[in-house]
Amino acid sequence: MNETKDFLRPIDTQSIVQRVINRLTKAMINKELKVGDKLPTEIELAKSFGVGRNSIREAIKILVAFGVFEIRRPEGTFVTNEFSDKMLDPLLYGIILDESNSLESLKELREWIDWGILRLAVVKAEENDIFELEKSFEDLKAALFEEEINKIFEADNNFHVALNNAAHNSLFFKIADLIRVLTSEIRMRTIKKMLSLNKLQELEIAHKDLLDAVKKSNATLSREIIVDGYFYNYDVV
């Protein structure tokens, strides 16, 4: 006799939709549901869980919105087989709506993500990555020379995208992309502050240090190379 999978046993009725989500999530963690697997039908899940079809439908709808499941008509519902930007949306809104010292937490997260990316880029950057970094740095220097805030912001962003690419880690890239969205106001304020203080050359030097670290494969560099480039000492946040 076939043994019923753990995630298909009946569940109790409190917070039904969330409990269905939790059960399906646990099934993926435990590899009872794997990437590309087709889910049982709503009727089958409702019967196994001992809950109504509406609860199953709502739970699946939420997980589809998160990019965890995908509906392929007429085949059915499947565990998605690739990372989706939608998976980061709950994290994005969670950080935006967090009222408990979120700015300080964001600064710390930014520091450690940027540091991790630099460490990987130092080891994994390829010839084309170096070329893109150098090109992005030259674009940044040109924008700094023009002292055009929006151009500087865009060039700075492009430089860090090139640095992220050089790390060759898709998860780091996705999280760093999210961090850039969340810190866009801080970064714009930094550029304006540095311009008002006539400190744009320091922005250039900070990016040159990052470029040189990657070009020279400097694996012994300290985390200060990242932190110093935020210019928090100039009261920008």
Q: How far is CA 184 from the centre of its chain?
A: 14
**Protein fold of 88-234:** Four Helix Bundle (Hemerythrin (Met), subunit A) (1.20.120)
**Protein fold of 6-82:** Arc Repressor Mutant, subunit A (1.10.10)
No. of helices (H) and no. of strands (E), the chain = 11, 2
Distance in angstroms (rounded) separating the CA atoms of residues 237 and 232: 7
β-partners of residue 55 are none
Smallest CA-to-CA distance from 57 within 46, 47, 73 is with: 46
Whether residue 27 contacts residue 7, with contact meaning beta carbons closer than 8 Å, is answered with: yes
Distance in angstroms (rounded) separating the CA atoms of residues 177 and 57: 32
Smallest CA-to-CA distance from 119 within 229, 231, 210 is with: 210
Domain segments of the chain: what residues? 6-82, 88-234
Q: Tell me: the pLDDT tens digits for 201-230?
A: 999 999 999 999 999 988 777 678 888 888
Distance in angstroms (rounded) separating the CA atoms of residues 219 and 204: 22
Mean pLDDT value across residues 187-198? 91
pTM, rounded to two decimals:
0.68
Q: Tell me: the pLDDT tens digits for 133-190?
A: 999 999 999 999 999 999 999 999 999 999 999 999 988 888 888 888 888 888 898 9
Whether residue 140 contacts residue 155, with contact meaning beta carbons closer than 8 Å, is answered with: yes
Read off the amino acid at residue 194.
Answer: M
